Structure 1
Amino acid sequence: MLFWDPTFLILVPAILLSLWAQITVKSTFDKFSRKRSSLGENGAQFARRLLDSLGLFDVKVERVTGFLSDHYDPQNKVLRLSDATYNSFSVAALGVVAHEVGHAVQDQKSYKPLVLRNLSVPFANFGGNLSWIIFIIGLIFSTPTLLYAGIILFSFVVLFSLITLPVEFDASNRAIKVLPMVGMSSEEVVMVKKVLTAAAMTYVAAAFMSIMQLVRMLFLAQNRD
């Protein structure tokens, strides 16, 4: 009943938005991956130059497997670039690099939303791992305490996804502002903006999905009888 019930309809808009966001970010990245940047640097070289120009000499640049698995690790001060960006000379790749460097700058400046997101990671992981288990047990045994315990735990996931939004938007804004300063043409900056806007929509979709999941849990809890 839980896995095949009408409440799944609540998730349909979020599922459609997620699919659209994933398709859009892939197609946009693929499009501008075919545009070679006039800067003449690959992702790794550009990351090092950009970091050094911002005084972030202690941040290392490493390669990581996966497609667009690029990320900044604040604990180890490492900028990890995926196979799609590390050796790429494309406008899209350099845009992604600049975005991740934006996170490194946030870390350097102790950007409050980033600090808050980092602090919320353990709670989000804990809530994500246990919330549905506890909630389903509560449904099976009609135990309100477990139902609402699951909902509270999942609320940490929702909160994390919402905190992530300003962090990602700010990193992109920092990237767009710094790119002209390091020699990227205005035409290429426009391309980067399209790539980063498409990427941002995946975070919006994830936040919307978590909210709709929470709404579904509340609906199931209130109509358990």
Structure 2
Amino acid sequence: MNFFGPYTPLILLIFVASMLIQASLTRTYRTWGQIRNARNLTGAQVARLMLDENGLTHVPVQMVPGQLSDHYDPVRKTVNLSESNFDVPSVSAMAVAAHEVGHAIQDKVRMPALVLRGQMAVPLSLGMNLAPFLLMIGVLTQLSGLLWLGAILFGAALLFHLVTLPVEFDASRRALAYLNTRGLSGSSEGQNGARSVLTAAALTYVAGFAMALAQFLNVLSIARSSDD
């Protein structure tokens, strides 16, 4: 029994692909981050406008440090935009801000997938911190029980990534629909730019799911071999 299951090469391949996808996202984000949007609105202004028009006037828009650190906090009910998006009137800032407000709207309507993801986040975070140690100890001691427990935790992580996909895709759909309907994207160039930014971001979640799937299959294979 060893740490390397039959899916290890696939994991390495997906890891390389993930790095390429992340590089593509960074390149796309920077490209459209240098182009002003049609209405010359900052990310914060776009977020505020979209929130207010969807009955979320109580949700504040805040600036947080970092790049691509944008997120919606369902606990504090805040839309948080990175420094590079908060007060910049670019196509990238517009797209990212609208996407995060999309999550706020999901929270308002209690989208089942978003609620489930929120319920899974904390316990799963704790479990995934333990999973690698369980796998390592299980292999070293040849205790199949630990390996199967690790496999269950990796399976839970896979479920989390699976639930995340519709949440992120729906937020981007809401964002693009709003920007186009309100004319904030402007010309076809602006529309294509917003779509490119959100598509590149979505691919990172697809890569995350693929990695979680490969890791789960690998650990499952190691656990099964321990019973032979």
TM-score range, shorter chain: over 0.9
Question: CA separation in 2, counterparts of 1:111 and 1:47?
Answer: 20
Q: Please name the residue that 2:119 is paired with.
A: 119
Matched, 1:196 2:192: no
- Matched to 1:105, the amino acid is I
1:13-162 equivalences under 5 Å are: 13-162=13-162
* Cα distance change on mapping 1:33 and 1:97 into 2, 3 Å: same
Question: CA separation in 2, counterparts of 1:5 and 1:151?
Answer: 12
Task: Report the secondary structure of 1:89's partner residue.
Answer: coil
Q: Which has the higher contact order (CA 8 A, sep 6+)?
A: 2
Question: CA separation in 2, counterparts of 1:125 and 1:212?
Answer: 19
* Residue 120 (structure 1) shift: 1.1
Structure 2, unpaired ranges of 5+: none
Q: After the TM superposition, list the runs of 4 or more consecutive aligned residues in structure 1 that deviate by more than 2 angstroms.
A: 1-8, 180-183, 219-225
Structure 1, 54-63 or 179-188: larger mean CA deviation: 179-188
Is 1:151–1:217's contact at 8 Å kept on the other side of the alignment? yes
Task: Report the secondary structure of 1:215's partner residue.
Answer: helix
Structure 1, 114-123 or 205-214: larger mean CA deviation: 114-123
TM-score by structure 1 length? 0.94
Aligned-residue RMSD, C-alpha: 1.7
- Matched to 1:80, the amino acid is N
Question: CA separation in 1, counterparts of 2:89 and 2:159?
Answer: 37
Question: CA separation in 1, counterparts of 2:208 and 2:201?
Answer: 11
Q: Percent identity?
A: 40
- Matched to 2:89, the amino acid is F
* Cα distance change on mapping 1:5 and 1:108 into 2, 3 Å: closer
Question: For residues 5-51 of structure 1, what are the alpha-carbon distances to aligned partners after superposition, in whole Å with 9 as ceiling and x for unaligned?
Answer: 87531312211221121011111111111110121221112211111
Structure 1, unpaired ranges of 5+: none
* Cα distance change on mapping 1:5 and 1:221 into 2, 3 Å: closer
* Residue 199 (structure 1) shift: 0.3
TM-score by structure 2 length? 0.93
Question: CA separation in 1, counterparts of 2:77 and 2:223?
Answer: 43
- Matched to 1:36, the amino acid is R
Match of 2:214 among 192, 196, 212: 212
* Cα distance change on mapping 1:13 and 1:88 into 2, 3 Å: same
* Residue 172 (structure 1) shift: 0.2
* Residue 58 (structure 1) shift: 1.0
* Residue 222 (structure 1) shift: 3.1
Is 2:102–2:174's contact at 8 Å kept on the other side of the alignment? yes
- Matched to 1:19, the amino acid is M
Is 1:123–1:156's contact at 8 Å kept on the other side of the alignment? no
* Residue 203 (structure 1) shift: 0.3
Question: CA separation in 2, counterparts of 1:172 and 1:181?
Answer: 14
Question: CA separation in 1, counterparts of 2:152 and 2:221?
Answer: 14
Aligned positions, number: 225
Task: Report the secondary structure of 2:105's partner residue.
Answer: helix
Structure 1, 161-170 or 31-40: larger mean CA deviation: 31-40
